[in-house]
Amino acid sequence: MIYNIDFETLPREAITAIQLKRLKATLENVYATVPFYKDMFRKARLTPHDIRSLDDLQKIPFTTKQDLRDNYPYGMFAVPMANVVRIHASSGTTGSPTVVGYTARDINTWAELMARALSAGGAHRGDIIHNAYGYGLFTGGLGVHYGAEKLGASVIPVSGGNTKRQIVIMKDFGPTILTATPSYSLHLAEVAKDMGISFKDLKFKFGIFGAEPWSESMRDELEETLNITAVDIYGLSEVMGPGVAIECHEAKNGLHIFEDHFIPEIINPETGEVLPYGETGELVFTSITKEAFPIIRYRTRDITSLHPEPCICGRTHIRMKRVSGRSDDMLIIRGVNVFPSQIESVLMKTDKIEPHYQLVVDRVDNLDTLTVKVEVSESLFSDEIKLLQTLEAKLSSDIKEYLGVSAKVKLVEPKSIARSEGKAVRVIDNRKI
């Protein structure tokens, strides 16, 4: 079902007309209210009136995570604090957190876009949504929550953690939609199994997974293990939160970006040059309806490509390919670029192994080493050591063949890699640089 049929099926000319009108208003607003943007325009010898077409957007410099940090906490806000009704912040694992704000209208817009997203992912009024995204400063939990209510679904605000209780709730409350990170969802399935409960006996139909990059092979695993249709959702707090883009369950082939609210671009991350449709590079977003925290040409660090071809679901909004990694998650091993999700794809071609893995990077005698720890099934682990060694060698040679990087594969016992209740920790980098 298409939640907002008027806006989600607009012809291309109408989308670009709306984008240009909203972009101009946004630029005039930030120029007048946010000193950071006024300076940016001045340094580029521009005023908002110089932006007369969508192509002119390319004249404006980028906004980076560092700019947000430099303006910590409220320097990027475009309205007085009296108009801000909600504040969220990123986890700040590196450097100070980024703080974002919302007016009442922003919260409403976000709820509308999340209602569109949940609907594209298979949810309807009357569905029961088990929302295991974390509630708190992280935008995941509350983002899904408001969208679910707007859609008219019943939402269970279970949040992350307390996994055994979650399983009991799943069994007793009969939720039909699961919203969670993909790694936590697989952990839920494991714990359920230990408690003697199969997802096949639960009522779930659809799962809407995001907040970490995941692969096409992970989709197969999730659909099989959880007995659902799995779709990918995308968002980031700097741009809004979850609900910037979503895969439709009909095509499951790229995420529709809500273009009446955001303008996406793909750039070459080295040169900043804008790339044509279909080419892979870094995703850049401009928000065109936000009041409290508008953002202009924000470099997301996420790597993807844009595809304008029509979709079988009827939505006309452009699709982005699932994010293959973040340019700052990218590992450089002996000069070769590797994303954890690429390793995941190779590992999951083998059915004897479990979708739990961790990459350990180190530097020994000035040489980078990559060890891939991956869990195998109970039965295999208790088998002969010889079989394990053969499988390790095979996976190692597959990684070399597909990705061009040498890795030592170490098969480990089931459940020996620490589980996370939010985003999975996929990489441990011990290099001292």
Nearer Cβ to Zn ion (145/319): 319
Cβ-based neighbours of 148, under 8 Å, separated by 6 or more: 114, 115, 118, 123, 129, 131, 154, 155
Q: What angle do CA 9, 57, 112 make, to 5 degrees?
A: 35
Question: Smallest distance, Å, CB 14 to Zn ion?
Answer: 18
Question: Smallest distance, Å, CB 319 to Zn ion?
Answer: 7
Residue written as tokens 């006024």?
Answer: 38
Question: Smallest distance, Å, CB 218 to Zn ion?
Answer: 20
Nearer Cβ to Zn ion (134/254): 254
**Tally: H helices and E strands in the chain:** 12, 21
Question: Smallest distance, Å, CB 307 to Zn ion?
Answer: 11
Cα dist from 342 to 94, 177, 337, whole Å: 24, 28, 10
Binding residues for Zn ion, per CB under 5 A?
Answer: 248, 251, 311, 313, 315
Residue written as tokens 């890699």?
Answer: 417
Nearer Cβ to Zn ion (315/326): 315
Residue burial 113-133, b: 16+ Cβ < 10 Å; e: rest: bbbbbbbbbbbbeebbbbbbb
* Torsion on CA atoms 186, 188, 189, 194, rounded to nearest 10: 130
Of 228, 189, 202, 201, the C-alpha closest to 355 is 189
Question: Smallest distance, Å, CB 315 to Zn ion?
Answer: 5
Nearer Cβ to Zn ion (122/294): 122
Cβ-based neighbours of 369, under 8 Å, separated by 6 or more: 361, 362, 363, 408
Nearer Cβ to Zn ion (320/424): 320
Nearer Cβ to Zn ion (171/307): 307
